[in-house]
Chains A and B, each alone.
Chain A
């Protein structure tokens, strides 16, 4: 290693140089370092770092410690029973997980979704994006030893989790999106709570900038660390905020608008640097864009049904009266479990908080899917993570890990 520090000024004698050369011979002096699998970050996974000195020469990811075989279980359960299952891999981002699957099923069934339900989907998704980004930023904070960011991130995520609880009835595993619409309507109290939460976080964001983004220690840990160029990012199929931090203006919400994104006014933050700091900045700005969208939705949301008429008609009138007309809630009768979409296949994509989420559903006409393929954003990060970490110091691995927002259960599925 010392060999590369050799300059005109500190020249060493020939013998000493020979000694150095022996150490850097290939295969010698390389050590293998296991990181994990006991929860090195945001879930159980193992990183095998091949190091020389403290430089990582190769990083091998060993995922699979939280593998739940969602794809296999999908071939053994009814379409409706899969809704809670598909959101389990990323419980902190469950609205997107749920929505992507439902969109694929709706495509096969050729179901239209009423406009109010589309707005509600966007609303829930953006609230979920904020809570997920704050979680990611908190994890990044504690990774690089900034415990204030960790505490703040997790604390300020709470109001947004609370909004989802008031809207859907559950804090994280919401199962909110159903074929043809959503499960519950937006009430006045949820609206007021959301406005409060947004105005609170808008004030708080300035504190984040002061104490985290403009902190010289944080900058030293993140700037020019884990750089991935635009070409490399495209080639390896990087997704989401990480891709946009490398200068690719790709966002599914703009490229293939779903839910109500066609009608919402928002911007896509893009940075060219491609380093850990740019990825953090993209997340921070996306939180602000999401807050703007939430305010827009509260202002513009149209009146109307929250479930497709075709589905609504199949619910017995007693149930409609008790649940829908009195409490604005959809409660499906048991026979919906054996819903049979027609034969066919569909691929759907949504922009989940960590990036693009792809579902490929194949139906053979029975009440159980023939095949469900789930490509989660963290799954797409596996190969880029290995590539990015090459040539960095061990101390940079947490910064890279945190800035990529890699979430092992999501990658394993």
Chain B
């Protein structure tokens, strides 16, 4: 392993390598793929059913943990965008890259395959995305409420349809 001081600038080709490896999966899996500078990049999937395939590919390339899984609600499209951020600890060149994989989950069939078995660090992210946005991760071992109280009911809090109740101001009036 190289020492840290030798690794001040990332190898330019590394992100291109990731992009070219992912592009090998073909146009029917990856709709759009782009490197944004030397440290960031993203790929958009054609369909959410390919997420397991792509995450296995990411593991092959050398990514070994998740930085984040984010659900973003888009009410006008009646879908939730799920963004997976991958990165690496064991390969210090790859560690400079955070690669995003984006996919969509529609409201009416709010399910997606869990990648917990490929990336165990996705455990908390998937659970949180489930309770706050209602995206069900199939084959995750603990798909139940985590941060929210056990008896929480109603709309998923991070969906845009959940409005924060304003408590208002209470002023004592003297009569």
Chain A residues in contact with chain B, CB under 8 A? 63-64, 67, 69, 71-73, 75-76, 233-237, 243, 248-251, 254-257, 262, 268, 347, 349, 358, 360, 362, 370-371, 373, 375, 379-380, 382-383, 412
Instruction: Tell which of A67, A75, A236, A249 touches B121, judged by Cβ atoms closer than 8 Å.
Output: A236
B139 within 8 A of A: no
- Give Cα distance in the complex from A260 to B108, angstroms: 48
Can you list 26 A-B contacts (CB < 8 A)?
Answer: A64-B146, A64-B147, A64-B148, A64-B149, A72-B157, A72-B158, A72-B162, A72-B164, A75-B160, A235-B120, A236-B123, A237-B120, A243-B89, A249-B1, A255-B92, A347-B40, A347-B68, A349-B67, A358-B68, A358-B85, A360-B68, A362-B72, A375-B67, A379-B124, A380-B124, A383-B123
Chain B residues in contact with chain A, CB under 8 A? 1, 4, 7-8, 39-40, 64-68, 70, 72-73, 83, 85, 89-90, 92, 95-96, 98, 100, 119-121, 123-124, 132, 146-149, 157-158, 160, 162, 164
Q: Which residues of A contact B148 (CB under 8 A)?
A: 64, 67
B92 near A250 with CB under 8 A, answer yes
B96 near A63 with CB under 8 A, answer no
- Give Cα distance in the complex from A347 to B36, angstroms: 12
Q: Which residues of B contact A249 (CB under 8 A)?
A: 1, 4, 92
A237 near B66 with CB under 8 A, answer yes
Nearest 5 Cβ contacts at the A-B interface: A237-B121, A64-B147, A237-B65, A373-B70, A383-B123
- Give Cα distance in the complex from A383 to B65, angstroms: 13
A69 near B157 with CB under 8 A, answer yes
Q: Which residues of A contact B164 (CB under 8 A)?
A: 72-73, 76
The minimal Cβ–Cβ distance linking A388 to chain B, given in whole angstroms, is 13
Q: Which residues of A contact B120 (CB under 8 A)?
A: 235-237, 383
Classify the interface of chain B: helix, strand, loop or mixed. Answer: mixed
B67 near A347 with CB under 8 A, answer yes
Most central of B68, B73, B90, B149 by chain A CB within 10 Å: B68
Say whether, besides A64-B148, A360-B70, A373-B70, A250 and B89 are in contact (CB < 8 Å): yes
B90 near A248 with CB under 8 A, answer yes
Q: Which residues of B contact A347 (CB under 8 A)?
A: 40, 67-68, 85, 98, 100
Q: Which residues of B contact A73 (CB under 8 A)?
A: 164
The minimal Cβ–Cβ distance linking B122 to chain A, given in whole angstroms, is 8
Q: Which residues of B contact A380 (CB under 8 A)?
A: 121, 124
Q: Which residues of B contact A243 (CB under 8 A)?
A: 89
Nearest B residue to A60 via CB reads B142
- Give Cα distance in the complex from A249 to B90, angstroms: 9
- Give Cα distance in the complex from A21 to B67, angstroms: 45
Say whether, besides A249-B4, A256-B39, A347-B100, A63 and B67 are in contact (CB < 8 Å): no
Nearest A residue to B163 via CB reads A76
Most central of B64, B119, B123, B162 by chain A CB within 10 Å: B123
Q: Which residues of A contact B162 (CB under 8 A)?
A: 72
